[in-house]
């Protein structure tokens, strides 16, 4: 079985993301700063490459401070996370004015781009003020990136390879514009790349954004642009042609802009598969019940289809009463963007729905929904993934969805459980052996859950084995390697390791 090792890179890499791979905490008494590491898949894959290549990471440290933050602390010696080796001189903090940052982040990023790019324009607010702050904060990130690029050139004078600047996600779609401009002016050669973690919408939706031209031009300032799946690439290419009048090559996914040819590539992200297997192996059993468990794990976000999911579960209990007292839905909903009113309303709606369904079906020894509004530790999460009978991943729209992948990685028990996934998630495009479920068809979704709960063991094994094999092979290191290949920046002899 092939599993991927960390790739070896030829050039240094500068990663630019809205947040640094850790947040800074300030001790209220001493004012001393410390790091609080994040363990997401992106960080796991990218941090080792930045560390090894003597690169840098540019981002917001998660706190606003009246005075400049000053020296960034080194990591704590007990820190075992992938960012532990990231030295403080490899970090460039972006410190913005709090009001402007709020308007950029909560206003433009999460109030406009998030719903629009998930094809929910009815939820998008278009504010000229927020847009102004988006432009301003993107410029600030670009200036900090140039600072990082200067440092990188000074440090690695012996290297023949130009550094890669890799900008992430919808918060920073304009930054490449000014990075390219300033890098050319100051003679700081670099290769520019952008990756979008959310869907890129079809032209008909995208063009609703009043400043759509600028977004496309910003992204096209890069040499290579990556999306999770081919459909998003095609949407982007289509927008460039129809909105900017660019010459495009759909077959080879190329866009011509100012005499340059921009490569557009599908780069589906993976997960640190082995880490999840280890977590699942090491996790204690938590469920003390004979009942079957259906699991949902999501940020509390309207794109994740949580309301439809609960309604489908209600229909299941209504139409298939044999599942009453036999099956529970464990829904973990992680609080998210709690400053945005859409999210506060969703919280209310979920609370009411859980209450209503539980009120309707609960008996002395069973309640249908167990609802955790909060975050659980990774080990605990792995135990849920491992011991659940069914995972419900039913977003209305989702760039990829890592929960679907983490669930299959943790399914080490025999016989395994069943994955149900929405075709509107990037993950639904390629996890062919999962049961597909359209979250908008609530009655049908209930039938799919019934099918999962009653699926024979051999069919479950067959499907899960194939799903697990794909995720093991196309893990997060594979993603990183695919990105570096697309940039032409991987050592010739770099291959994934082979393991039995």
Active site residues: 197, 398
Q: What is the closest distance, in whole angstroms, from the C-beta atom of residue 330 to ligand GDG in the complex?
A: 11
Q: Quick one: 8 exposed, middle or buried, by C-beta within 10 A (0-12, 13-18, 19+)?
A: middle
Query: Would you call 387 helix, strand, or coil by DSSP?
Result: helix
Q: Are 374 and 431 in contact (CB under 8 A)?
A: no
Residue closer to ligand GDG (CB basis): 403 or 442? 403
Residue closer to ligand GDG (CB basis): 47 or 149? 47
Residue closer to ligand GDG (CB basis): 107 or 305? 305
Q: Are 411 and 417 in contact (CB under 8 A)?
A: yes
Residue closer to ligand GDG (CB basis): 306 or 402? 402
Q: Are 72 and 91 in contact (CB under 8 A)?
A: yes
Q: Which residues bind ligand GDG (CB under 6 A)?
A: 40-41, 197-198, 269, 297, 299, 332, 334, 375-378, 381, 398-403, 406
Q: What is the closest distance, in whole angstroms, from the C-beta atom of residue 401 to ligand GDG in the complex?
A: 5
Residue closer to ligand GDG (CB basis): 274 or 494? 274
Q: What is the closest distance, in whole angstroms, from the C-beta atom of residue 149 to ligand GDG in the complex?
A: 25
Q: Are 90 and 102 in contact (CB under 8 A)?
A: no
Cβ neighbours for 23, distance < 8 A, ≥ 6 positions apart: 35, 36, 38, 61, 62, 63
Q: What is the closest distance, in whole angstroms, from the C-beta atom of residue 195 to ligand GDG in the complex?
A: 8
Query: Would you call 410 helix, strand, or coil by DSSP?
Result: helix
Q: What is the closest distance, in whole angstroms, from the C-beta atom of residue 488 to ligand GDG in the complex?
A: 23
Tokens 């791979």 correspond to what residue?
Answer: 21
Q: How many angstroms separate the CA atoms of 294 and 104, rounded?
A: 38
Residue closer to ligand GDG (CB basis): 35 or 405? 405
Q: Quick one: 212 exposed, middle or buried, by C-beta within 10 A (0-12, 13-18, 19+)?
A: middle
Main-chain phi, psi angles of 10, to 5 degrees: -80, -40
Q: Are 373 and 347 in contact (CB under 8 A)?
A: yes
Q: What is the closest distance, in whole angstroms, from the C-beta atom of residue 253 to ligand GDG in the complex?
A: 19
Q: What is the DSSP letter of 66?
A: S
- Which residues face 24 on adjacent strands? 35
Residue closer to ligand GDG (CB basis): 208 or 376? 376
Sign of CA dihedral 208, 111, 202, 177: positive
Q: The tokens of 411 are what? A: 């399914």
Tokens 């600047």 correspond to what residue?
Answer: 165
The radius of gyration computed from the CA coordinates of the chain, to the nearest angstrom, equals 23
Q: What is the closest distance, in whole angstroms, from the C-beta atom of residue 204 to ligand GDG in the complex?
A: 21
Q: The tokens of 245 are what? A: 């009048």
Cβ neighbours for 151, distance < 8 A, ≥ 6 positions apart: 56, 89, 92
């Amino acid at each position: 079985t092939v599993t991927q090792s960390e790739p070896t890179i030829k050039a240094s890499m500068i990663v630019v993301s809205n947040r640094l791979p850790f947040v800074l905490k300030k001790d209220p008494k001493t004012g001393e700063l410390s790091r609080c590491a994040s363990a997401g898949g992106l960080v796991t894959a990218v941090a080792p490459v930045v560390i090894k290549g003597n690169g840098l990471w540019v981002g917001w440290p998660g706190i606003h401070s009246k005075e400049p933050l000053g020296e960034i602390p080194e990591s704590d010696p007990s820190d075992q996370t992938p960012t532990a080796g990231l030295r403080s001189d490899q970090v460039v903090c972006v410190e913005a004015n709090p009001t402007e940052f709020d308007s950029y982040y909560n206003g433009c990023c999460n109030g406009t781009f998030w719903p629009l790019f998930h094809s929910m324009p009815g939820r998008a607010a278009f504010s000229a003020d927020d847009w102004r702050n988006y432009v301003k904060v993107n410029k600030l990130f670009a200036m900090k990136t140039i600072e990082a690029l200067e440092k990188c050139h000074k440090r690695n004078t012996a290297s023949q390879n130009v550094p890669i600047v890799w900008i992430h996600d919808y918060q920073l779609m304009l930054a490449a514009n000014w990075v390219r401009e300033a890098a050319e002016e100051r003679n700081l050669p670099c290769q520019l790349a952008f990756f979008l973690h959310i869907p890129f919408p079809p032209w008909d939706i995208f063009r609703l954004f009043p400043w759509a031209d600028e977004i496309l031009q910003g992204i096209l300032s890069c040499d290579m642009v990556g999306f999770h799946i081919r459909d998003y690439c095609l949407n982007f290419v289509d927008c460039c042609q129809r909105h900017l009048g660019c010459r495009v090559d759909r077959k080879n996914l190329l866009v011509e802009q100012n005499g340059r040819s921009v490569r557009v590539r599908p780069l589906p992200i993976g997960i640190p598969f082995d880490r999840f297997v280890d977590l699942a192996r090491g996790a204690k059993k938590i469920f003390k019940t004979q009942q079957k468990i259906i699991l949902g794990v999501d940020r509390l976000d309207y794109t994740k289809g949580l309301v439809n999911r609960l309604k489908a579960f209600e229909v299941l209990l209504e139409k298939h009463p044999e599942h009453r007292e036999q099956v529970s839905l464990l829904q973990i909903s992680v609080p998210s963007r709690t400053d945005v009113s859409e999210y506060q309303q969703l919280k209310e709606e979920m609370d009411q729905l859980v209450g209503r369904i539980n009120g309707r079906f609960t008996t002395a020894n069973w309640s249908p929904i167990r609802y955790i509004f909060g975050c659980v530790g990774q080990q605990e999460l792995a135990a849920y993934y491992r011991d659940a009978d069914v995972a419900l991943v039913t977003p209305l729209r989702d760039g990829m969805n890592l929960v679907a992948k983490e669930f299959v990685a943790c399914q080490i028990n025999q016989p395994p459980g069943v994955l149900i996934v929405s075709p509107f998630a990037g993950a639904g495009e390629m996890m062919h052996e999962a049961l597909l479920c359209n979250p908008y068809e609530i009655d049908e979704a209930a039938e799919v859950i019934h099918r999962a709960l009653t699926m024979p063991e051999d069919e479950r094994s067959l499907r899960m084995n194939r799903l697990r094999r794909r995720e093991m092979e196309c893990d997060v290191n594979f993603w990183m390697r695919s990105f570096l290949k697309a940039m032409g920046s991987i050592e010739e002899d770099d291959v994934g390791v082979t393991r039995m």
